Chain A
Amino acid sequence: MILKNLLEYIGIEPGRVHFSWISSAEATKFQETAKEVVSQVRELGPAKRLVKDIPMEAA
């Protein structure tokens, strides 16, 4: 919670980082959450903030 708030506070877009408690017995929840995260992040597009791009710097 605290970390999520901090990241959003510095300008990481909501929906970019997700936190969730999932037990290994909650396969369905895992699947649903994964699909949710993927779709939200896809909508936001490629991450540009806090990204270290070594290949670009090394090219």
Chain B
Amino acid sequence: MADKRINKAELPKLLERLAQEHEVFAPARDGSAMVWSRVEPGDVLELEFTNTDLSPKGFLFPQTERLMHFKNDPEDPEGMIMEAEPGLPGKRLLLNIRPCDAKAFKVLDKVFERDEEATDVYWKDKRDKTVLFGLACKDPCPTCFCTTVNCGPHFEEGLDALLVDLGDRLLVRPLSETGERLTADLEEAGQEDTEAATAQKEEAEAAITRGVSMENIEARNVLEEYEHPCFDRIFEPCINCGTCTYYCPTCHCFDIQDETQGELGKRYRTWDTCMSWLFTHHTSGHNPRGTKKDRVRQRFMHKFKYMPIKLEGSIGCVGCGRCTSKCPVNIDVRSVVNSMNEQIGE
């Protein structure tokens, strides 16, 4: 697929084209926060930002989502039937999503669509109806480390198209059939555009100087890594809130709750966190992750060891750095993973 280009002055036309078929969402400034916001033709798009505060995970996996509702009334012909929830009424497009967040969706696909017989239909419905137009990173933020977790500021996997900000214009690289179709009207990019984009990619990748090394984590067997002495100290400042898990684009634990009143009821799922003592507390009272150390270790082992094993090498982290910048006690995922990677007995 050939690269395209568009002058920034013509972006409104592209937005109009995209909005014809989709509800379009894009990052927007809200004070000093960056939030995902519905954009309509005529809105000005924000291109100078590092990343949104909350990841776009909520578009495909909302924090609170009704799974079914029911009426417990044998007399009612419509009672006693679990009504499934309707899917999304139309298509959505996430414009200017960062490549790391798009890659996170690929990781979550492996979680939610793992088994054809038991696909998470709530995820799949939204996933199939959502188009991703990414905005490549020019200036990675100080907490980004995507290049060291199989991702990068211009990473293309998972996107329908990648936009690269080249100053007065954008390179538009279609990456899927959908991306190709939606950008068919744009003029082709010149060689200097493609070269400028490549140069920006290399500069951005070089700007990420603080990352993680994982070769020892990968090489060791699970139990050896589990017993790594670094875990004796890492957990100490942690307050076991859910901030890191909720801001993370790849965290996916959820709780299921039923609420009823009279004969009407609903079942919903809501984001949960391995940081909570309830995380895997059994009804028997037994709690395999009962201490703070166990839970903190659980999170990092899951994302950096268990997930790569179970998901054909996919790391449960895309290097967005949100957990580190939002953690109220400054637990830095880079420090943690690098500690996990240290030689044991050092």
- The answer on direct contact between A and B (beta carbons under 8 Å) is yes
Chain A residues within an 8 Å CB radius of B69? 57-59
What secondary structure prevails in chain B residues at the interface with A?
strand
Number of interface residues of A (CB under 8 A): 5
CA A50 to CA B69, docked complex, whole Å: 22
Encoded as 1 (CB less than 8 Å from any A CB) or 0, chain B from 61 to 72 comes to 000001001110
**Which partner residue on chain B sits nearest A59 by CB separation?**
B264
A55 in the interface (beta carbon within 8 A): yes
> Is B261's CB within 8 Å of the partner chain A?
yes
Residue of B with least CB distance to A57 = B266
For residue B259, CB closer than 8 A to chain A, the reply is yes
Number of interface residues of B (CB under 8 A): 11
B242 interface residue per 8 A CB criterion:
no
Q: Per-position contact with B for A1-42: 1 when CB-CB < 8 Å, else 0?
A: 000000000000000000000000000000000000000000
B260 within 8 A of A: yes
A-facing residues in B242-262 (Cβ within 8 Å): 259-262
Q: Which residues of A contact B66 (CB under 8 A)?
A: 57
Interfacial residues of chain B within 238-291, with CB under 8 A of chain A in the complex? 259-262, 264-266
CA–CA, A57 to B70, complex, Å?
11
Residue ID in chain A nearest B265 by CB atoms: A58
CA distance A58 to B79 in the complex (A): 12
Q: How many angstroms between the C-alpha atoms of A57 and B264 in the bound complex? A: 9
* Bound: A59/B163 CA distance, A: 43
> Which A residues touch B266, using CB under 8 A?
54, 57-58
Mask: chain B, 25-41; 1 = CB below 8 Å from A; 0 = not: 00000000000000000
Complex: A57 Cα to B71 Cα, angstroms:
12
Residues of chain B within 8 A (CB-CB) of A58 are 69-71, 259-261, 264-266
- Closest B residue to A55 using CB positions: B264
Q: Which 4 A-B pairs have the closest CB atoms?
A: A54-B261, A58-B266, A58-B264, A55-B264
Given contacts A57-B259, A59-B69, 9 further A-B contacts (CB under 8 A): A54-B265, A54-B266, A55-B261, A55-B262, A57-B266, A58-B69, A58-B70, A58-B259, A59-B264
13 A-B pairs with C-beta separation under 8 A: A54-B259, A54-B261, A54-B264, A55-B261, A55-B262, A55-B264, A57-B66, A57-B69, A58-B69, A58-B259, A58-B264, A58-B265, A59-B264
